[in-house]
Each structure stands twice: as C-alpha cells, then as structure tokens.
C-alpha cells in the first residue's frame, strides 16, 4: 500500500525555525516533493529531493533519507505569510509523474 | 501565477448532472495531471496525460473521464454527479512526464 504521514497541525512563532516531518511507505519511490498551499489556493512547489541529503533554497530546506523513508521541511525566519498547509508528496515511479500526497500539515505562525 | 489556467473557477450543479472542467498547461509543457482535493481525502491523483496519450491512472471513478487535445489542453468530464463529488479539482502540468508539476488555480465544484 501507499502511506505518507505528516503531523496534522503545528504552531510556531514569527522569526523562529520549524521542522515539518514526513514519513513514507510506498511501493515505488522516484523523488519527494514539498508543496505549500494556502487555503483555497493552488499548491505551489517548494522543493524536490531524489538523493539523500539536504537541499537548501533560501529560507526553506528539505532533507531526505531514503533508507528511513523520511523527509523534513525546515522553514527558517518564519513570517506570518508562511501560515499555510505544507504537503509532502512522493513520485511513485520513474515512468510516470504520479504524485502520492500526504494529508498535509497546517502551520500557524503566531506573532 | 504558475502559468496553468483552469476554467471555470466555480461550478454549482445538481446531482445526476454532467460537467466539464478545462485546463490549459504552461506553455511548452506536454504533460497534464488531474487531482481531486476534498476536505477528508487530501489531494488525490486522478489521471495523467502526456502529449495526448494517457500515461497513468489513479483511483478515477468510471463516471469520470478525461482527454488531452492536440493543442495540449485537457478536459475532465464528470457525469452522474453525486454529493460526494463536491471538491476542488486541480490540474497540473510539467514539461515532460516526470518533472516538477505546477498547479492551476483549481475549479471548486459544488454538487447540490
């Protein structure tokens, strides 16, 4: 089966750092994506990992460990506009683009 | 703005009806994906087309069908609508069949 787990909700303070974890058990794996989604809006691409290690992009970093079926998204210097849902998605195989999404983590940033 | 367009933005219809959702991919993208997002299910993959051909299928109901036209736009047809079909329907596109997917603004369907 396919299973992707993320915490449902998290709260953090403006200016702080937050780590959102994602664990996955899927029958195939060809990369892991993180998307940000504000309520009622389209998911927007944040990061992509296919090899183990850390990918850094400005205030956002994403880490992958394929042997552990684990990824995290790190958000630094949190801003109020970072309040959103963060979606972890696994690309299932190498010959299709099918993404399997977790339920998402709703992050609330407080002043 | 991702460059992916979807119409209509909102759609209200009755049970038993049929609707068509339209998607235009980003310029140059060959692959189109359809996803359904309901409150209790999260984002669910429905179907992928690549350059006019079906590439992958998810848990798409038999009442739903899709196609990709020669100009690469895609349509998702939903028939015999049920209350449970109420959801946000997103289209995404990518340059080929595997690269990063960019999502359109979605169509919010409400079945009454």
In chain A, at which residue ranges do the beta strands (DSSP E only) sit?
3-5, 9-13, 18-25, 32-37, 44-49, 53-57, 60-65, 70-75, 84-91, 99-101, 105-110
pLDDT digits (tens, 9 = 90+) for A73-83: 999 999 999 99
Q: How far are the Cα atoms of A80, A83, B10 from residue A99, in angstroms, in the given order? A: 28, 23, 25
Widest distance between CA atoms in chain B = 38
Query: In chain A, whose CA is at the least distance from the CA of B50?
Result: A96
Low-confidence ranges of chain A (pLDDT < 50): none
Q: What percent of chain B has pLDDT over 70?
A: 99
Q: Considering only CB atoms, which chain A residues are within 8 Å of B88?
A: 40
Helical (H) or strand (E) element with B112: none
Predicted pLDDT at B97: 67
Query: Half-sphere exposure (CA, 13 Å, Cβ side) for A18?
Result: 22
Looking at chain A from residue 20 to 79, which residues have their Cβ under 8 Å from any Cβ of chain B? 30, 33, 35, 40-45, 48
- Pair A87, A35: CB distance under 8 Å: yes
pLDDT digits (tens, 9 = 90+) for B74-102: 999 999 999 999 999 999 999 986 789 99
Q: Cβ separation of B103 and A94 shorter than 8 Å?
A: no
Residue B47 scores a pLDDT above 70? yes
Q: Cβ separation of A95 and B97 shorter than 8 Å?
A: yes
């Amino acid at each position: 089966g396919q299973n992707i787990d993320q915490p449902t909700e998290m709260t953090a303070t403006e200016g702080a750092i937050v780590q959102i974890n994602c664990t996955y058990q899927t029958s195939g794996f060809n990369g892991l994506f993180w998307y940000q989604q504000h309520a009622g809006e389209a998911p927007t691409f944040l990061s992509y990992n296919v090899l183990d290690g850390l990918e850094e992009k400005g205030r956002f970093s994403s880490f992958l460990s394929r042997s552990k079926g684990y990824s995290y998204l790190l958000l630094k210097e949190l801003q109020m506009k970072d309040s959103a849902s963060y979606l972890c998605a696994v690309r299932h195989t190498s010959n299709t683009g099918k993404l399997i999404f977790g339920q998402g983590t709703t992050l609330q940033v407080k002043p | 703005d991702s460059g992916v367009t979807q119409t209509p933005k909102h759609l209200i219809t009755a049970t038993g009806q049929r609707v068509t959702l339209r998607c235009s991919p980003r310029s140059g993208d060959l692959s189109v994906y359809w996803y359904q997002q309901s409150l209790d299910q999260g984002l669910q993959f429905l179907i992928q087309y690549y350059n006019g051909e079906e590439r992958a299928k998810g848990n798409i109901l038999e009442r739903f069908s899709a196609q990709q036209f020669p100009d690469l736009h895609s349509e998702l047809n939903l028939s015999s609508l049920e209350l449970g079909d109420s959801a946000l329907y997103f289209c995404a596109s990518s340059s080929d069949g595997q690269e990063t997917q960019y999502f359109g603004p979605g169509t919010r369907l409400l079945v009454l």
